[in-house]
Homo-oligomer: A and B are copies of this chain.
Amino acid sequence: MIYLDNAASTPIHKDVLTEMLPFLSEQYGNPSSIHKLGRTANKAIQNARKQIANLINAQPNEIFLTSGGTESNNITLHGFAYAKKGNHIITSSIEHEAILEPCKRLEKDGFSVTYLPVSSDGLVDPTYIKNAITKDTCLVSIMFANNEVGTVQPIKEISKICKEKQLPFHSDAVQAVGKMPIDVRDLELSAMSISSHKLNGPKGVGAIYIKKGIKIEPLILGGGQENGIRSGTENVASIVGFGKACELAKENLQKNIVHLKSLRDSLVSKITSEIPHVSFNGNREKRIPNNAHFTFLGVNGEDLIIKLDENGVAASTGSACSVKIQKASHVLKAMGFSHEQITGSLRLTVGLSNTFEEIDTTVAILKKVVKELREVSPFKTKYGL
């Protein structure tokens, strides 16, 4: 199988699994226990916290472990909203559902939320943020890189505006961390969400970076783990794996970027030159290195995915996270795509283990499959496909 759905989830790196295994067998202590087994588990967590912090140039005590990116986003929105410094939030219209849905709830609860528009290549205009800020604004939350089209936002410019207005700035960086250099100090972020399984770590674990000195209201309460920000017995093995994945991502960052980018660029150039009536979407330059997003005129993306799957290629129409609901992508809508364009979309996201041979095979399969689908497309005559 050729796996080109790395934005949905990535394989666990073998060195990550090796680090995890002791904590899935003999090292089964609860990190809160004061005996040796407990202390060993606790030490392992603190080590992972350092590895995670290192990847983004944070301090270990600025890393709060969660059950994943979705929870990190939920904690952040709830946490800043109920820190009660204002009742207005600014975000974009192309955020992940894990931002948009909590925002909708906050609206029901009396908060006001501004959903900023984006350009046709998925960029938020920092001027719009500046203009949207009111005296009631308590948080700006703009994603780092979009999960569907891969566009990377002007985080530093946005950060500068927020700093001027002394506003906290959060970024959902689930798709960006491990795929581009990110330095939270340099970017002056207040908070940032990270997910382990998007960077070759295990599922079910993630983190929030929260800048030292910022106090937020916790969402999940109990025994007071994670300095009171996130209670619950720590998921030791997965945290250890997450830490190792971050260490590997840091060590190999430049090498990985080059590899992913060449694979992706080869995919894009071959698809756009060998298949007619196809457009490559999102910003060309401001883009994470692993993402390629296309629109195939007259083709239904769902049919395309199924045909590709039958031919051994794993791909996606867009987000994997909108489960079982066949609804049109809000991201592409916000980018001004027509219903037909949205329907014909395909996301191919490369990973560390993909090869150039796989890219060539994929292009050949895609060529064949798109042709077959266009043969029976209701738009065949209309567009001369």
Contacts and interface: CB of A to CB of B under 8 A. Distances in A.
A12 interface: yes
Contact of A97 (B25, B29, B231, B323): B231
Contacts of A302: 34
Contacts of A74: 219-222, 231
A70 B220 contact: yes
Contacts of A71: 67, 220, 232
> Which secondary structure dominates where chain A touches chain B?
loop
A98 interface: yes
A233 interface: yes
Contact of A235 (B67, B236, B316): B67
Counting chain B CB atoms within 10 Å of each CB, the highest count among A5, A68, A197, A222 belongs to A222
A236 B238 CA distance: 12
A96 interface: yes
A17 B48 CA distance: 22
Contacts of A308: 35
A325 interface: yes
Given A35-B314, A323-B224, A28 B1 contact: no
Contact of A98 (B195, B231, B324): B231
Nearest to A174: B233
Contacts of A10: 28
A3 to B, nearest CB: 7
B316 A33 contact: yes
Contact of A315 (B5, B28, B35, B233): B35
Interface in A241-284: none
Contact of A223 (B34, B197, B223, B323): B323
A305 B36 CA distance: 10
Contact of A101 (B37, B97, B231, B319): B231
Given A11-B26, A204-B234, A224-B323, 17 more contacts: A8-B29, A11-B25, A14-B25, A20-B24, A29-B314, A32-B323, A35-B305, A37-B314, A67-B204, A68-B233, A70-B231, A97-B231, A203-B235, A204-B237, A224-B324, A231-B321, A233-B321
